[in-house]
Structure 1
Amino acid sequence: MLDFSAIDFETANSYRGSPCSVGLVKVRDGVVVDSRYWLMRPPESASGFSPFNVSLHGITEEMVATSPHWKEVLPKILEFVGDDTIVAHNSGFDIGVIRYACAADNFEWPELRFLCTMVLGRRAYALPSYRLPFVAEAAGFVASNHHHALADAEAVVGIINGMASAAGVRTVGDLATAHGVCVGRMQSGVYKGSVCTLGGGSGRLLAPEAHLDADPDGYLYGRVVVFTGALMSMTRQIAWDAVAKAGGSPEANTTKRTNVLVLGDFNPANLRPGATYSGKTRRAFDLQAKGQDIELMTEADFLRVLEGDDLIPVRVETRGSKAPLSAPTAESSRCRS
């Protein structure tokens, strides 16, 4: 049976754990049987509303002033979902909202299973963009009122129903298997993303051929791009292929050739003095200290530049040097759909 719950969060600012609204839709055998929508106050440590986020979803700090705190809403979300697999468009973002908001309030992650329609869309369709409206249209559903959490959750349902019908499957697990995507899971101290199951680690990556028709004005054109950490929205091989398609050169390690380092599953707030970094990131800082221009960006920023949107780099003080990180205030907050 095609049973699942769809979810979508909107956030108050660039910190992933700043939920201000959530939309939920419950589906039984492909039919919507229930839905919920809540406004909420984000964690106190991430409670500010950025103008960019407000311009997207229209929710202001005043609108949630009398709403329940997010940690009061979370039990209601979990009760609504029950034992369902949760489906979201860019589950790395929406499940990340729960992870980071829990971290902000210092309590454990709940146990959840989840599937990502952005990853499914990348496997199923060749599209100019894999944002929610594009994937929904490809699946036969016309999305409306984008960035309203309930409307976006309803679009996720349309994607799953359309893809399941096309694949001739009756469960979300079978749909995931049909497209080579795994169902992710989260529980206390454990997180496994909903990603493509094909391909392997960086040791088995295949260097893609350069795309001669890439846009020379594109953000990644002519740049050497390295990835560190787990990517939530795609496999490392798909990311390499995307860089090549954009006219860049993906490489496995940070070197004197590197121009961009993409930080997978990374919270920009952690880019601070004394934090623990991967070897590739430490190498980037060392090269920066010697004068090399290396830009650090989150996975959200990387997805944004693939869509052709520009970023405005900022510089963050780290270990005595200034490390550039793509501006999280606008660009990294909602590129996922």
Structure 2
Amino acid sequence: MSNPALSFVAIDFETANASRASACSVGLTKVIEGEVVETVSWLIQPHESVSEFHPINISIHGISSEMVAQDGINWVETVQRMNQIVGDLPIVAHNSGFDRSVWNHANLVEGFDDLAPDFFCTLSLSRKLTQVGVLQGLDSNRLDALANFFGIEQKKHHDAGEDSLVAALVTLKLLEVIQRDSIADAWGAPTSSGPIRSHRVPSVPKVRRNNLLSVVPTAAPPEGIAGEVFTLTGALASIAREDCWTAIEAAGGTVTKSVTKKTTVLVIGAGADESMPPLLGDSSKEKKAIALIESGQSIAVIGEPDLLVLLNEN
């Protein structure tokens, strides 16, 4: 029996660089009454103010400036196409805060006043279900991990079209698991990325307490990735954590989930623009790093923009 409440569009963006205004590809998958009816994708020419393609982004999605110059369309035409496909349907994305923010920031640099529609987020829903033990055996809430968990074939992660298709199929699987027959029933209110004030990557708000003195790192910032052992704490604004791990490892570095005696670099995600943030002990990883530094271990402390510079140099 058909169910109009199971009609939606899943969307995925890829970007040329750390700016969320730099959309370079989009994929959309339309689901009507619980059945996938269409998957489309195309390349986008980013606005000239954010058109530089960074090596780390190219390594993730394989899209170059030459490719979008030859086959891409501009953002104005992209919005027209997306609106035609979406119509009045709900929109779903995996990590919707990122994808909706891309739409909004790309609008902003083009001078559009319109905000993107609200999104439903499969990442947030899967995290909630994992926390309450519904998705037992799931080792990560990444899109590719969810695809593997549900037996969904994925040939090329970070291809916008395929990622939108996988997000759509994951959505249907999540609804099946929790026995919900509508998008609204599963999520309630959709998510909004909030007000947009500039085309820069928005900083992640972080309140830093001053009840602990800042500890001076015992190592200078690294000159490269290779051979270093990285630990990340806090939220990253401009790159997904799993993509960051992949890029570090591809450049010859190692990533550990917790601070250990092998850690040589602690990356503190205190905002997209906060370089060399102070080590104050605001997280368990920071506290562990402080303890190891005080015991004589050599650990460098860098911020998100410092890490992106290192990655883009590789």
Q: TM-score, normalised by structure 1?
A: 0.59
Distance in 1 (alpha carbons) for counterparts of 2:234 and 2:128: 23
One-letter code aligned to 1:98 = W
Give the partner amino acid of 1:138. Answer: F
Give the aligned length.
232
The reply to whether residue 53 of structure 1 matches residue 61 of structure 2 is no
State how 1:128-167 maps to structure 2 within 5 Å: 128-167=139-178
Aligned equivalent of 1:219, options 218, 221, 231: 231
Aligned to 1:86: 91
- Output one character per residue of 1:86-109: Cα deviation in whole Å (capped at 9) or x when no partner: 111111111111122122223223
For residue 187 of structure 1, report the CA deviation from its aligned partner. Answer: 8.6
For 2:270, the equivalent position in structure 1 comes to 262
Tell me, yes or no, if the aligned pair for 2:17 and 2:53 is still in contact at 8 Å: yes
SS in 2 for 1:163: helix
Aligned 1:1-337 pairs, distance under 5 A: 1-66=5-70, 67-125=72-130, 127-177=138-188, 182-185=189-192, 219-220=231-232, 260=268, 262-263=270-271, 268=272, 271=273, 292-293=278-279, 325-328=305-308
Identical positions, percent: 32
Letter in 1 for 2:59: S
Distance change (3 Å), C-alpha of 1:51 and 1:24: same
Question: Could you say which structure has the higher strand fraction?
Answer: 1
Q: Distance in 1 between matches of 2:46 and 2:166?
A: 24
Which 5+ residue runs of structure 1 have no aligned equivalent? 191-201, 203-216, 234-245, 249-258, 272-280, 297-311, 316-323, 333-337
Residue type of the alignment partner of 1:183: P
Q: What displacement does 1:74 show?
A: 1.2
SS at match of 1:184: coil
User: In terms of Rg, which structure is larger?
Assistant: 2
SS of 1:164's equivalent? Answer: helix
TM-aligned CA deviation for residue 19 of structure 1: 0.9
Give a deviation string over 1:35-84, Cα, whole Å, max 9, x none. Answer: 32111101111101112211222211111114221222112112211111
- In structure 1, C-alpha distance between the alignment counterparts of 2:32 and 2:310, rounded to whole Å: 37
Question: How far apart, in 1, do the equivalents of 2:234 and 2:14 lie?
Answer: 29
Question: Separation in 2 of the partners of 1:106 and 1:187?
Answer: 18
Mark the CA change 1:326 to 1:118 in structure 2 (over 3 Å): closer, same or farther.
farther
1:293: Cα distance to partner?
4.3
Q: Match of 1:262, as an amino acid? A: A
Give the distance between the partners of 1:261 and 1:55, measured in 2 at CA.
22
TM-score (norm 2): 0.63
Superposition RMSD on alpha carbons, in Å? Answer: 3.7
CA contact (8 A) 1:41 1:47 kept: yes
Alpha-carbon distance in 1 for matches of 2:64, 2:235: 35
CA distance in 2, matches of 1:112, 1:19: 17
Counterpart Cα distance in 1 of 2:143 and 2:164: 10
Secondary structure at 1:17's aligned position in 2?
A: coil
CA spacing shift, 1:81–1:188, aligned 2, 3 Å = farther
